[in-house]
Amino acid sequence: MTNISIEAPEVVRGQPYPGAPDNWKRFFTFSTDHKVIGIQYIVTSFVFYLIGGLFAMIMRGELITPEADLVDRTVYNALFTMHGSVMLFFWTFPVLVGLGNYLVPLMIGARDMAFPRLNAVSFWMIPIAGILMMSSFLVPGGPSQSGWWAYPPVSLQNPTGNLINGQVLWILSVAISGVSSIMGAVNFVTTICRMRAPGMTWFKTPAFVWAVLAAQLIQLYGLPALTGGAVMLLLDLTIGTSFFNPEGGGNPILYQHFFWFYSHPAVYVMVLPAFGTFSEVLPVHARKPLFGYRVIAASSLIITVISSAVWVHHMFASATPSWMRMFFMVTTMLVAIPSGVKVFGWVATVWGGKIRFTTPMLFALGGISNWLFAGITGIFLGSAPIDLHVHNTYFVVGHFHYVLYGAIVMAIYAAIYHWFPKMTGRMYYEGLGKLHFVLTYIGTALIFLPMHPLGLMGMPRRVASYDPEFAYWNVVASIGGFLLGLSTLPFILNMVSSWIRGEKVGNNPWRAYGLEWLTSSPPTVENFEETPIVISGPYGYGRHQPLVEHAPNPGLTDFPESFTKQPSS
């Protein structure tokens, strides 16, 4: 068979609707194309990532000496509050939703999400909510200073007396973000359940899609609790109800239940798509099927179920009775089993493979090694007696950031590099990508590893100043923090320059095995000219069996010959 690359006609390339601009301007429109929305999510959230990262670097600058001498305590408190809030609500969640938005319809052979307009509304709520949160820097009392978890009664204290204050803006912003996520979850679940291509049974569905489904199910059951808690907190703050205010007979611990009922599973909302990314990237760059695919896929849903009953491990040191400490200790540790199954599956996938150290592969491998470490320290934290010592210390901060940055952000980078040729039709610069990886991996270790000994020594989190005994590890961590800040520069340079003038590649430069690689790069408006009919499972490396009944985009032939079943003559 002769490989002839036929470019898709320009007129249909990512065009959101007839008459819409077919250039960068379409990313500033109310597009209903899931691919445009996906990139809108990714780019918008990356801007917030830079803002949140800037806050973190100022904090590390403050913590490079024991004294509170760089910024005032109120500024520091606002910075860690906004850092956590921005990084979670406006970077990690949205960027993963963006990746899901871009990839899920392509991976399941759909032409768009189930509810395209709802999808666009979900996205546009994010910049609105983000700007609202940022605007709190301009109100008289400044931004919220009660931490990203906004525990009352601290979050109910209002030193300015103004109705419009940083805490109110914070709650409104989080509530809007929550509503956006709920709408997104409805869209994802419907799309995945109802719009898979003919022949794509559950066990022919890519692991990434399983992971997104599992994550979005958590959004559906968990987010209403957080949003409800936020509304009650807003009422306490503004009109003087006493749901959580002890002065009026309220119970601040109740808020913690509302908050953690969602906010612990929320970690899995973020980490599951990261797991899905590892499961997609490893087989391609190791040229092997995903080992134990069915178990890995099913373990995502098992995590969804178990994670609904672990939230109290954040409250072991709270006003939590013994029976509750013991029950949630066991359930928390049980999450290690499906998580461990995945790690073993990934190790077995690369074992005996034909590994290529491309940038996405490096980020995936780095992310898995970090996740392994984070998972083990997570078991430590699941043990109630150990938690009673390290709770609210830097040990937790180190563990948490190993999950969020070491594993999830690494996975996000892996995903962006891996699917960059699909999104743009061009290849990134490998040298810059590898430089980015090296800086990121070293920076991650330098900043987050020292937090573990700091926590064991007893340094509380959220402090603007500390005893001199903690100075050494803090200096190391700050150097790592600045290195992480530096690491984003080659990434930005790479993405911008590659998108503009990177080498044009075919539709499937990785010779990857998945429906998204069966269409042009970037994909046409409706993804597939003909609905693909799936006839085999994903990750068919080494099997030489066709994935679909016939080419869904006739004329596009620069993928492996065995990709489509040839019509019998």
Partner 1 sequence: MTVYAVLVTFASLWMAKQAYSWFPPEAAAEAKLLDDLFSLFTGLGTFIYLGVIGPFIYSLIFHRAEKYDLSDGPDIEGNTWLEIIWTVTPLILVVTLSFVSYRTYEKMSIRGPMELVHLHMPQMVEPAYAEPFDSTPQQEIQEAVETSPIEEIDVVAKQWAWIFHYPNQDVTSTELHLPVDRRVRFKLHSEDVLHGFYVPAFRLSQYVVPHEDIDFELTPVKIGTYRLRDSMYSGTYFAANQTDVVVQSASDYQQWLADAAAQTPTPAFNPANYEYSQVFEPGSGNTKDKVAVRGWATIPPAPPPVVNYAPKHEPESPPV
Q: Which residues of 218-233 are buried (b: 16+ CB within 10 A; e: fewer)?
A: bbeebbebbbebbebb
Asked if 475 touches partner 1 (CB under 8 A), the answer is: no
Which residues in 75-104 contact partner 1 (CB under 8 A)? Answer: 75-78
Q: Which residues contact 229 (CB under 8 A, 6 or more apart)?
A: 255, 258, 259
Q: Please report how close the Cβ of residue 428 comes to partner 1 at its closest, in angstroms.
A: 20
What whole-number distance in Å separates Cα of residue 541 and Cα of residue 514? Answer: 11
Which residues in 229-268 contact partner 1 (CB under 8 A)? Answer: 246, 252-253
Q: Please report how close the Cβ of residue 37 comes to partner 1 at its closest, in angstroms.
A: 34
Strands annotated E in 260-320: none
Q: What is the DSSP letter of 205?
A: S
Which residues in 344-403 contact partner 1 (CB under 8 A)? Answer: 344, 347-348, 350-357, 365, 368-369, 372-373, 376-377, 379-380, 383-386, 388-389, 391-393
Which residues in 497-516 contact partner 1 (CB under 8 A)? Answer: 511
Cβ proximity to partner 1, 198 vs 352, nearer residue: 352
Q: Which residues contact 321 (CB under 8 A, 6 or more apart)?
A: none
Cβ proximity to partner 1, 34 vs 264, nearer residue: 264
What whole-number distance in Å separates Cα of residue 170 and Cα of residue 263? Answer: 16
Which residues in 34-73 contact partner 1 (CB under 8 A)? Answer: 66-73
Of 178-186, 203-211, 272-280, 329-337: span binding partner 1 (CB under 8 A): 329-337
Which residues in 268-297 contact partner 1 (CB under 8 A)? Answer: 286-289, 291-295
Cβ proximity to partner 1, 380 vs 499, nearer residue: 380
Of 31-39, 183-191, 271-279, 459-467: span binding partner 1 (CB under 8 A): 459-467
Q: What is the x/- site pattern for partner 1, positions 414-453, by CB under 8 A?
A: ---------------------------------------x
Q: Please report how close the Cβ of residue 372 comes to partner 1 at its closest, in angstroms.
A: 6
One of 319, 486, 489, 500 touching partner 1 (CB under 8 A): 319
Q: 119 and 216 in contact (C-beta within 8 Å)?
A: no
Q: 189 and 209 in contact (C-beta within 8 Å)?
A: no
Q: Please report how close the Cβ of residue 149 comes to partner 1 at its closest, in angstroms.
A: 9
Q: Please report how close the Cβ of residue 377 comes to partner 1 at its closest, in angstroms.
A: 8
Asked if 138 touches partner 1 (CB under 8 A), the answer is: no
Q: Please report how close the Cβ of residue 36 comes to partner 1 at its closest, in angstroms.
A: 34
Q: 308 and 222 in contact (C-beta within 8 Å)?
A: yes
Asked if 326 touches partner 1 (CB under 8 A), the answer is: yes
- Three-state SS at 122: helix
Q: Please report how close the Cβ of residue 76 comes to partner 1 at its closest, in angstroms.
A: 8
One of 104, 226, 343, 548 touching partner 1 (CB under 8 A): 343
Q: What is the x/- site pattern for partner 1, positions 151-180, by CB under 8 A?
A: x-xx--x-xx--------------------
Which residues in 529-558 contact partner 1 (CB under 8 A)? Answer: 541-543
Cβ proximity to partner 1, 5 vs 383, nearer residue: 383
| ∠ CA 362-36-25, rounded to 5° | 115
Phi-psi region of 560 (alpha: psi -120 to 50; beta: other; left: phi over 0): beta
Cβ proximity to partner 1, 43 vs 330, nearer residue: 330
Burial class (CB in 10 A: 0-12, 13-18, 19+), 209: buried
What own/partner pairs with CB < 8 Å and gap ≥ 24 does 382-387 have?
382/313, 382/329, 382/332, 382/333, 382/336, 383/329, 383/333, 384/313, 384/316, 384/325, 384/326, 384/329, 387/313, 387/316, 387/317
What whole-number distance in Å separates Cα of residue 200 and Cα of residue 563? Answer: 15
Asked if 141 touches partner 1 (CB under 8 A), the answer is: yes
Q: Which residues of 125-161 are buried (b: 16+ CB within 10 A; e: fewer)?
A: bbbebbebbbebeebebbbbbbbbbbbbeebbeeeee
Of 10-18, 74-82, 214-222, 547-555: span binding partner 1 (CB under 8 A): 74-82
Cβ proximity to partner 1, 387 vs 549, nearer residue: 387
Cβ proximity to partner 1, 76 vs 90, nearer residue: 76
Half-sphere exposure of 124 (CA within 13 A, CB side): 12
Q: How many residues bind partner 1 (CB under 8 A)?
A: 101
Asked if 194 touches partner 1 (CB under 8 A), the answer is: no
What whole-number distance in Å separates Cα of residue 227 and Cα of residue 32? Answer: 26
Query: What separation in angstroms does the CA of 507 have from each of 5, 142, 295, 382, 559?
Result: 8, 49, 30, 46, 7
